[in-house]
Amino acid sequence: MVNGYAAASLREALEIRASRDVVPYAGGTDLMIENRKGVRYLFLNKVPELKAVAVDDRYVRIGAAVTFTEALACPDVPRLMKEALSRIAAPAIRNAGTFGGNLGNGSAKADTALIEVAADGKVCLASAEGGRVVDVDKFYLGRKKLDLADNELITEILLPKKGLEQYSYEKVGGREALAISRVSFAGVFAAENGKITNIAAAFGAVADTILRYKDIEAMLLGKTVQEAKGLKADYLNAYAQRMTLTRGRVSAEYRKRVCMNLLNGFLTKFGI
């Protein structure tokens, strides 16, 4: 086809990616709005290896070309992710939008990427030479900058199979549907034997990248809920100090207040 390559297998896709100057095309919902001139697309929407959801002993593995609608219908996809998926845009966009595209667009507003960051998700990258696995929060290098080489494709998103049962998810958009996140928040909580083992908090759409501060989270790890309550003020203060937010469709001050309220609400939800 003129100015396009349709790959029938991952191998073929990687070969084209390595040998030609192409833009990977998954769902099209971001790319077609940009409407870049003079580019060639590598169509990934029919690559079978990218269309599957699989489960191994540790991870739910979601293919990069799996659409949001397909994931919503899949029993293996964690509830937290589904909650975020169900609030993305509207059916026609969810039918087109994919996990790989959402991540590959590099936006801090990407609703699935927020969940992946909060869930300690990983992204699998492949090139004709081989593959590598990167933590999703390390995959974002800066505003619209990703740790993705010119010859690589996103192939899978890995979400932990366990540990995502207790969470908070909040999305602030301008309306009830067709809403781009103005602030989004995902928190994951876990405790074992009375001690907090996970208290991940991730903030989307408020800065150049999705924000997560593991060093602040560490303040509460290993503590009992009661102990955590005592540390709550310091913990919240640490976030308030650290978070430098940008303005977008709403002001930075608003974003900050909402983030702090939602973080506080997350702690409260789990008794802290």
Partner 1 sequence: MDGIRFTLNGTEVTYGGNATDRLLDVLRDSYHCTSVKCGCKEGECGACAALIDGVLYNSCCVALGAVSGASVVTMEGFRETERFTALEKAFGEFSAVQCGFCIPGMTLAAEALLSKNPHPTEEEIREGLSGNLCRCTGYNAIVNAVANAAREGDGLW
Partner 2 sequence: MEKITRSVVKKDHAPKISGHSVYVADYPAEGVLCGKLLHANIARAKVLRVETPELPEGYFYVDAKDVPGDNNVNIVLDDTPVYCRGTVEYIGEPIAMLCGPDEAVVTRLRDACKVEYEELEPALDLRKATETFFDYRFGHGDVDKAFSEADRVYDEEFETGYQEQAYLETQGMMAEPEENGRMFVHGSSQCVYYIHGAVMRALGCGPDGVRVLQDVTGGGFGGKEDFPSILGCQVAVAARKCGKAVRCVLDRREDMEYTSKRHPSLCRYKVAVRDGKVTAMDIDVTLNAGAYSTLSAVVLQRGIIAAPGVYNVPNLRVHGRALKTNTAPCGAFRGFGAPQTFFAVEMMMDHIARDLGVEPLSFKEAHLVRQGDFTSTCGRYHFPVPLPAMIDKIDKACDYRKKRAEYAKPQTGRYRRGIGMSLCFHGAGFTGSGERDLIKAVAKLRKYRDGTVEILASNGDIGQGVRTTFPKIVAHELNLPLDKVYYQHPDTARVPDSGPTVASRSLMVVGELLRRAAIRLREQWADGEEQEVEERFKEPDFIIPFHIDKFEGDAYPTYAWAVNAIELEIDTYTGVAKALGAYGAFDVGTPVDYNVVMGQMEGGFLQGIGYASMEQMNYDDKGRIRNNSFSDYLIPTAKDVPNLYCTLHVEKYPDGPYGAKGAGELPLVGAPGAYLSAVEQALDGVALHHVPFTAEDTLSVMTKEAV
Residues of this chain that bind partner 2 (CB under 8 A): 90, 170, 172, 174-180, 182-183, 249-251, 253-254, 257-258, 261-262, 265
Pick 174 or 265: Cβ nearer partner 1 = 174
Partner from partner 1, partner 2, none binding residue 61, C-beta < 5-8 Å depending on class: none
- Under DSSP, is residue 175 helix (H, G, I), strand (E, B) or coil? coil
Pick 9 or 237: Cβ nearer partner 1 = 9
- CA distance readout (Å), 215 to 57, 226, 236, 237, 238: 28, 20, 13, 13, 10
Locus of tokens 């998954």: 26
Q: At closest approach, how far in Å is the CB of 248 from partner 1?
A: 17
Q: What b/e sequence results for 103-115 when a residue is b if at least 16 CB atoms lie within 10 Å of its CB, and e otherwise? A: bbbbbbbbbbbbb
Asked if residues 236 and 242 have their Cβ atoms less than 8 Å apart, the reply is no
Q: At closest approach, how far in Å is the CB of 211 from partner 2?
A: 17
Partner from partner 1, partner 2, none binding residue 183, C-beta < 5-8 Å depending on class: partner 2
Give ∠ CA 90-85-105 in degrees, rounded to 5: 85
Partner from partner 2, partner 1, none binding residue 59, C-beta < 5-8 Å depending on class: none
- Under DSSP, is residue 183 helix (H, G, I), strand (E, B) or coil? strand
Pick 23 or 179: Cβ nearer partner 2 = 179
Helix axes 79-86, 111-118, angle to 10 degrees: 160
Pick 46 or 58: Cβ nearer partner 1 = 46
Pick 69 or 264: Cβ nearer partner 1 = 69
Asked if residues 30 and 68 have their Cβ atoms less than 8 Å apart, the reply is no
Neighbouring C-beta atoms of residue 222, cutoff 10 Å: 11
Partner from partner 1, partner 2, none binding residue 265, C-beta < 5-8 Å depending on class: partner 2
Q: At closest approach, how far in Å is the CB of 177 from partner 2?
A: 4
Partner from partner 2, partner 1, none binding residue 174, C-beta < 5-8 Å depending on class: partner 2
Q: At closest approach, how far in Å is the CB of 91 from partner 1?
A: 6
- Under DSSP, is residue 95 helix (H, G, I), strand (E, B) or coil? helix
Amino acid residing at 31: L
Q: At closest approach, how far in Å is the CB of 52 from partner 2?
A: 32
Partner from partner 1, partner 2, none binding residue 40, C-beta < 5-8 Å depending on class: partner 1
Q: At closest approach, how far in Å is the CB of 29 from partner 2?
A: 12
- For 112-262, list the strands marked E by DSSP: 122-127, 130-135, 140-142, 145-146, 153-160, 166-172, 183-192, 195-204, 211-212
Give ∠ CA 77-83-84 in degrees, rounded to 5: 95
Q: Which residues of the chain form contacts with partner 1 (CB under 8 A)?
A: 1-6, 25, 27-29, 31-33, 35, 39-41, 43, 45-46, 69, 89-93, 95-96, 176-178
